Amino acid sequence: MGRPHPAAGGDFDSPVPPGAGWPGDPASPDTPVARSAAGVRRLAGSCCLDPNVNISTGNPDVWTQTTTSQPLSELDARISVCHACRRLVRWREEVAATKRAAFADEPYWGRPVPGWGDPEPRVLLVGLAPAAHGANRTGRVFTGDRSGDWLFASLHRVGLATRPTSTHAGDGQHLLGTRMVAAVRCAPPDNKPTTPERDTCAPWLDAELRLLMPTVEVVVALGGFGWDAALRGLTALGYAVPRPRPRFGHGAEATLSGADRDVALLGCYHPSQQNTFTGRLTEPMLDAVLGRAAALAGLA
Ligand code: SF4
Protein backbone atom coordinates (compact mmCIF):
# COMPACT_ATOMS: atom_id res chain seq x y z
CA MET A 1 0.00 0.00 0.00
CA GLY A 2 1.32 3.44 -0.96
CA ARG A 3 2.11 6.12 1.62
CA PRO A 4 2.09 9.93 1.14
CA HIS A 5 5.38 11.82 0.83
CA PRO A 6 5.78 14.41 3.66
CA ALA A 7 6.27 17.29 1.17
CA ALA A 8 4.94 16.18 -2.19
CA GLY A 9 1.87 14.29 -1.03
CA GLY A 10 0.69 11.62 -3.42
CA ASP A 11 1.08 7.95 -2.64
CA PHE A 12 4.37 6.15 -3.19
CA ASP A 13 5.23 2.50 -3.00
CA SER A 14 8.31 1.47 -1.00
CA PRO A 15 10.79 1.22 -2.63
CA VAL A 16 9.86 4.10 -4.93
CA PRO A 17 9.65 3.24 -8.64
CA PRO A 18 11.85 5.46 -10.86
CA GLY A 19 9.98 8.42 -12.33
CA ALA A 20 7.03 8.15 -9.94
CA GLY A 21 7.19 11.85 -9.01
CA TRP A 22 9.33 11.69 -5.86
CA PRO A 23 10.92 15.13 -5.30
CA GLY A 24 14.35 15.18 -6.89
CA ASP A 25 14.13 11.68 -8.37
CA PRO A 26 16.68 11.88 -11.21
CA ALA A 27 15.57 8.67 -12.92
CA SER A 28 12.83 7.65 -15.31
CA PRO A 29 11.48 4.20 -16.14
CA ASP A 30 13.91 4.22 -19.12
CA THR A 31 17.07 4.89 -17.11
CA PRO A 32 19.56 2.07 -17.79
CA VAL A 33 20.12 -0.28 -14.86
CA ALA A 34 23.49 -1.74 -13.86
CA ARG A 35 23.05 -5.33 -12.66
CA SER A 36 26.68 -6.31 -12.15
CA ALA A 37 30.07 -4.80 -11.37
CA ALA A 38 30.82 -4.76 -15.09
CA GLY A 39 27.53 -2.98 -15.72
CA VAL A 40 28.44 -0.31 -13.14
CA ARG A 41 31.80 0.24 -14.82
CA ARG A 42 30.22 0.60 -18.24
CA LEU A 43 27.31 2.82 -17.27
CA ALA A 44 29.44 4.99 -14.96
CA GLY A 45 32.22 5.33 -17.50
CA SER A 46 29.95 6.24 -20.38
CA CYS A 47 28.47 9.17 -18.44
CA CYS A 48 31.71 11.09 -18.62
CA LEU A 49 33.37 10.03 -21.87
CA ASP A 50 32.31 13.35 -23.32
CA PRO A 51 30.27 16.02 -21.54
CA ASN A 52 27.95 16.23 -24.57
CA VAL A 53 27.44 12.53 -25.07
CA ASN A 54 25.13 10.25 -23.17
CA ILE A 55 25.55 6.62 -24.14
CA SER A 56 22.42 5.02 -22.82
CA THR A 57 20.28 1.97 -23.20
CA GLY A 58 18.51 -0.41 -20.92
CA ASN A 59 20.75 -3.17 -22.19
CA PRO A 60 24.37 -2.58 -21.22
CA ASP A 61 25.52 -4.83 -24.04
CA VAL A 62 23.97 -2.69 -26.75
CA TRP A 63 24.78 1.00 -26.58
CA THR A 64 23.18 3.79 -28.52
CA GLN A 65 24.16 7.44 -28.42
CA THR A 66 21.88 10.33 -27.61
CA THR A 67 22.92 13.84 -26.70
CA THR A 68 22.43 15.53 -23.36
CA SER A 69 24.02 18.57 -21.77
CA GLN A 70 23.60 17.17 -18.27
CA PRO A 71 25.93 14.24 -17.71
CA LEU A 72 25.77 14.70 -13.90
CA SER A 73 21.99 14.37 -13.95
CA GLU A 74 22.30 11.24 -16.07
CA LEU A 75 24.90 9.84 -13.68
CA ASP A 76 22.63 10.55 -10.69
CA ALA A 77 19.79 8.79 -12.51
CA ARG A 78 21.87 5.70 -13.29
CA ILE A 79 23.15 5.49 -9.73
CA SER A 80 19.63 5.75 -8.32
CA VAL A 81 18.43 2.59 -10.09
CA CYS A 82 21.55 0.44 -9.68
CA HIS A 83 21.01 -3.24 -8.84
CA ALA A 84 24.61 -4.48 -8.90
CA CYS A 85 25.05 -5.67 -5.30
CA ARG A 86 22.63 -8.46 -4.53
CA ARG A 87 23.00 -8.28 -0.72
CA LEU A 88 22.55 -4.51 -0.59
CA VAL A 89 19.59 -4.48 -2.97
CA ARG A 90 17.87 -7.07 -0.80
CA TRP A 91 18.65 -5.14 2.41
CA ARG A 92 17.64 -1.68 1.20
CA GLU A 93 14.33 -3.00 -0.18
CA GLU A 94 13.60 -5.12 2.89
CA VAL A 95 14.14 -2.10 5.16
CA ALA A 96 11.91 -0.01 2.87
CA ALA A 97 9.15 -2.59 3.01
CA THR A 98 9.23 -3.26 6.75
CA LYS A 99 10.08 0.30 7.95
CA ARG A 100 10.86 1.51 11.44
CA ALA A 101 7.75 1.97 13.60
CA ALA A 102 8.33 5.74 13.86
CA PHE A 103 8.13 6.02 10.06
CA ALA A 104 5.46 3.42 9.42
CA ASP A 105 3.21 5.98 7.72
CA GLU A 106 5.91 7.23 5.34
CA PRO A 107 7.10 5.84 2.04
CA TYR A 108 10.74 4.69 1.93
CA TRP A 109 12.95 5.54 -1.07
CA GLY A 110 14.64 2.14 -0.84
CA ARG A 111 17.01 2.82 -3.77
CA PRO A 112 20.64 3.91 -4.11
CA VAL A 113 21.16 7.50 -3.00
CA PRO A 114 22.91 9.74 -5.53
CA GLY A 115 25.03 12.78 -4.68
CA TRP A 116 23.16 15.97 -3.84
CA GLY A 117 23.86 19.68 -3.82
CA ASP A 118 25.54 22.19 -6.10
CA PRO A 119 26.32 20.59 -9.50
CA GLU A 120 29.46 22.77 -9.71
CA PRO A 121 30.66 22.67 -6.11
CA ARG A 122 33.79 24.09 -4.57
CA VAL A 123 33.41 21.88 -1.50
CA LEU A 124 32.69 18.16 -1.79
CA LEU A 125 31.81 16.03 1.25
CA VAL A 126 32.42 12.29 1.00
CA GLY A 127 30.66 10.08 3.54
CA LEU A 128 30.31 6.33 3.99
CA ALA A 129 26.87 5.07 2.96
CA PRO A 130 23.18 5.92 3.42
CA ALA A 131 21.56 5.12 6.76
CA ALA A 132 18.84 2.48 6.61
CA HIS A 133 16.14 4.76 8.06
CA GLY A 134 17.75 8.05 7.02
CA ALA A 135 18.75 8.54 3.38
CA ASN A 136 17.34 5.12 2.47
CA ARG A 137 13.99 6.52 3.61
CA THR A 138 14.22 10.10 2.34
CA GLY A 139 16.20 9.50 -0.85
CA ARG A 140 18.58 12.34 -0.05
CA VAL A 141 22.05 11.87 1.32
CA PHE A 142 22.49 12.63 5.05
CA THR A 143 18.82 13.54 5.30
CA GLY A 144 16.44 12.26 7.95
CA ASP A 145 18.77 10.91 10.65
CA ARG A 146 20.82 12.16 13.59
CA SER A 147 24.08 12.24 11.64
CA GLY A 148 22.47 14.48 9.07
CA ASP A 149 21.00 16.68 11.79
CA TRP A 150 24.49 17.34 13.09
CA LEU A 151 26.01 17.80 9.66
CA PHE A 152 23.40 20.18 8.23
CA ALA A 153 23.31 22.26 11.43
CA SER A 154 27.07 22.74 11.13
CA LEU A 155 26.93 23.42 7.38
CA HIS A 156 24.37 26.12 8.11
CA ARG A 157 26.50 27.65 10.89
CA VAL A 158 29.51 27.95 8.57
CA GLY A 159 27.46 29.28 5.65
CA LEU A 160 27.31 26.21 3.39
CA ALA A 161 23.60 25.41 3.76
CA THR A 162 20.54 27.64 3.66
CA ARG A 163 18.79 25.90 6.58
CA PRO A 164 19.92 24.21 9.79
CA THR A 165 17.80 21.13 9.17
CA SER A 166 17.37 18.55 6.41
CA THR A 167 14.29 16.44 6.91
CA HIS A 168 13.15 15.19 3.51
CA ALA A 169 13.55 15.77 -0.23
CA GLY A 170 11.63 18.88 -1.21
CA ASP A 171 11.98 20.56 2.21
CA GLY A 172 13.52 23.73 0.74
CA GLN A 173 17.07 22.99 1.92
CA HIS A 174 19.90 24.04 -0.43
CA LEU A 175 23.63 23.58 -0.18
CA LEU A 176 25.77 26.59 -1.11
CA GLY A 177 28.78 25.83 -3.31
CA THR A 178 28.76 22.39 -1.75
CA ARG A 179 27.82 18.86 -2.73
CA MET A 180 27.75 15.68 -0.68
CA VAL A 181 28.11 12.08 -1.77
CA ALA A 182 28.37 8.65 -0.16
CA ALA A 183 31.22 6.38 -1.14
CA VAL A 184 28.78 3.45 -1.23
CA ARG A 185 25.35 4.42 -2.48
CA CYS A 186 23.16 1.78 -0.83
CA ALA A 187 22.41 1.35 2.86
CA PRO A 188 24.43 -1.63 4.14
CA PRO A 189 23.52 -3.83 7.12
CA ASP A 190 25.21 -2.49 10.27
CA ASN A 191 26.56 0.42 8.18
CA LYS A 192 29.29 -1.92 6.96
CA PRO A 193 29.66 -2.53 3.23
CA THR A 194 31.92 -5.42 2.29
CA THR A 195 35.11 -4.80 0.36
CA PRO A 196 33.64 -6.25 -2.87
CA GLU A 197 30.58 -3.98 -2.45
CA ARG A 198 32.84 -0.98 -1.95
CA ASP A 199 34.78 -1.86 -5.07
CA THR A 200 31.66 -2.54 -7.13
CA CYS A 201 30.30 0.90 -6.24
CA ALA A 202 33.59 2.79 -6.72
CA PRO A 203 33.10 3.55 -10.45
CA TRP A 204 30.07 5.67 -9.58
CA LEU A 205 32.25 7.83 -7.30
CA ASP A 206 35.06 7.88 -9.86
CA ALA A 207 32.64 9.13 -12.53
CA GLU A 208 31.19 11.75 -10.21
CA LEU A 209 34.64 12.99 -9.26
CA ARG A 210 35.57 13.25 -12.93
CA LEU A 211 32.56 15.48 -13.54
CA LEU A 212 32.92 17.56 -10.37
CA MET A 213 36.65 18.10 -9.90
CA PRO A 214 36.95 20.93 -12.45
CA THR A 215 35.34 23.18 -9.82
CA VAL A 216 36.13 21.45 -6.49
CA GLU A 217 38.72 23.16 -4.29
CA VAL A 218 38.26 21.14 -1.10
CA VAL A 219 37.22 17.55 -0.41
CA VAL A 220 36.05 16.83 3.14
CA ALA A 221 36.21 13.16 4.07
CA LEU A 222 33.76 12.17 6.81
CA GLY A 223 35.43 9.27 8.58
CA GLY A 224 38.23 6.95 7.57
CA PHE A 225 36.10 5.14 5.00
CA GLY A 226 35.37 8.42 3.21
CA TRP A 227 39.05 9.40 3.46
CA ASP A 228 40.21 6.19 1.79
CA ALA A 229 37.49 6.40 -0.86
CA ALA A 230 38.41 10.00 -1.68
CA LEU A 231 42.10 9.16 -1.91
CA ARG A 232 41.40 6.17 -4.15
CA GLY A 233 39.05 8.13 -6.39
CA LEU A 234 41.35 11.13 -6.74
CA THR A 235 44.33 8.89 -7.40
CA ALA A 236 42.37 7.14 -10.15
CA LEU A 237 41.67 10.56 -11.63
CA GLY A 238 45.38 11.33 -11.80
CA TYR A 239 45.93 13.40 -8.66
CA ALA A 240 49.31 12.88 -7.05
CA VAL A 241 49.04 11.80 -3.41
CA PRO A 242 51.88 12.82 -1.04
CA ARG A 243 54.21 10.14 0.29
CA PRO A 244 53.91 8.77 2.86
CA ARG A 245 50.22 8.41 2.17
CA PRO A 246 48.31 10.90 4.36
CA ARG A 247 46.57 9.32 7.33
CA PHE A 248 43.02 10.07 8.36
CA GLY A 249 42.38 12.07 11.48
CA HIS A 250 40.06 14.82 12.60
CA GLY A 251 41.50 18.04 11.19
CA ALA A 252 44.02 16.18 9.02
CA GLU A 253 44.90 18.04 5.84
CA ALA A 254 46.63 16.96 2.67
CA THR A 255 47.27 18.62 -0.67
CA LEU A 256 46.81 16.51 -3.78
CA SER A 257 48.36 17.80 -6.97
CA GLY A 258 46.38 17.68 -10.18
CA ALA A 259 47.45 18.43 -13.73
CA ASP A 260 46.05 21.96 -13.59
CA ARG A 261 45.74 22.74 -9.89
CA ASP A 262 45.82 21.31 -6.40
CA VAL A 263 42.93 20.15 -4.24
CA ALA A 264 42.83 20.12 -0.43
CA LEU A 265 41.67 17.00 1.39
CA LEU A 266 40.40 17.52 4.94
CA GLY A 267 39.61 14.79 7.45
CA CYS A 268 36.61 15.03 9.77
CA TYR A 269 35.24 12.52 12.23
CA HIS A 270 31.98 11.11 10.94
CA PRO A 271 28.99 12.68 12.72
CA SER A 272 27.71 9.22 13.66
CA GLN A 273 25.80 8.81 16.90
CA GLN A 274 28.70 6.75 18.18
CA ASN A 275 30.96 9.79 17.80
CA THR A 276 28.53 12.53 18.82
CA PHE A 277 27.02 10.71 21.83
CA THR A 278 30.44 9.95 23.27
CA GLY A 279 31.79 13.46 22.75
CA ARG A 280 34.47 12.24 20.38
CA LEU A 281 33.02 14.74 17.92
CA THR A 282 31.61 18.02 19.26
CA GLU A 283 29.84 20.84 17.45
CA PRO A 284 32.88 23.16 17.66
CA MET A 285 35.08 20.39 16.22
CA LEU A 286 32.71 19.85 13.30
CA ASP A 287 32.36 23.60 12.71
CA ALA A 288 36.14 23.99 12.72
CA VAL A 289 36.67 21.53 9.84
CA LEU A 290 33.69 22.65 7.77
CA GLY A 291 34.56 26.29 8.41
CA ARG A 292 38.11 25.58 7.29
CA ALA A 293 36.75 23.98 4.10
CA ALA A 294 34.55 27.02 3.45
CA ALA A 295 37.50 29.35 3.97
CA LEU A 296 39.85 27.36 1.71
CA ALA A 297 37.18 27.28 -1.00
CA GLY A 298 36.55 31.01 -0.75
CA LEU A 299 33.02 30.46 0.53
CA ALA A 300 33.42 31.85 4.05
S1 SF4 B 1 26.15 -0.17 -3.50
FE2 SF4 B 1 26.59 0.93 -5.39
S3 SF4 B 1 27.09 -0.65 -6.90
FE4 SF4 B 1 26.07 -1.69 -5.17
S5 SF4 B 1 23.88 -1.76 -5.76
FE6 SF4 B 1 24.20 0.11 -4.56
S7 SF4 B 1 24.62 1.72 -6.08
FE8 SF4 B 1 24.92 -0.24 -7.08
How do the domains of the chain map onto residue ranges? 3-296
Contact 8, 22 (CB under 8 A): yes
Q: Is the CB of 134 under 6 A from ligand 1?
A: no
Q: Evaluate if pTM is beyond 0.85.
A: yes
| pLDDT single digits (tens) 216-275 | 999 999 999 999 999 999 999 999 999 999 999 999 999 999 988 999 999 999 999 999
Contact 152, 171 (CB under 8 A): no
| Residue 49: predicted pLDDT | 62
| Residue 70: predicted pLDDT | 85
Contact 155, 209 (CB under 8 A): no
| Residue 179: predicted pLDDT | 98
Amino acid, res. 214 = P
Angle formed by the axes of helices 71-80 and 195-212, nearest 10°: 160
Per DSSP, 3 falls in state E
| Residue 250: predicted pLDDT | 98
Q: Is the CB of 95 under 6 A from ligand 1?
A: no
| Residue 273: predicted pLDDT | 94
Q: Is the CB of 198 under 6 A from ligand 1?
A: no
| Residue 63: predicted pLDDT | 31
| Long-range Cβ pairs for the range 173-176 (8 Å, 24+) | 173/143, 175/116, 175/117, 175/118, 175/121, 176/118, 176/299
Residue closest to 117 by CA, chosen among 129, 104, 126: 126
Measured in Å, residue 202 CA sits from the centre of ligand 1 at 9
Amino acid, res. 289 = V
Measured in Å, residue 251 CA sits from the centre of ligand 1 at 30
Measured in Å, residue 187 CA sits from the centre of ligand 1 at 9
For residue 122, what are the CA distances in angstroms to 44, 174, 175, 263? 22, 14, 11, 10
The C-alpha atoms of residue 224 and residue 288 are separated, in whole angstroms, by 18
| Residue 64: predicted pLDDT | 32
**Which is the closest atom of ligand 1 to the Cα of 34?**
8
Q: Which CATH superfamily is domain 3-296 in?
A: Uracil-DNA glycosylase-like domain (3.40.470.10)
Q: Is the CB of 229 under 6 A from ligand 1?
A: no
Q: What angle do CA 132, 37, 68 make, to 5 degrees?
A: 90
Q: Is the CB of 85 under 6 A from ligand 1?
A: yes
| Residue 52: predicted pLDDT | 42
Report the b/e string of 174-185 with b at 16+ CB within 10 A: ebbbbbbbbbbb
Residue 58: CB atoms within 10 A of its CB come to 10
| Residue 57: predicted pLDDT | 33
Question: Which regions in the chain score pLDDT beneath 70?
Answer: 49-69
Amino acid, res. 14 = S
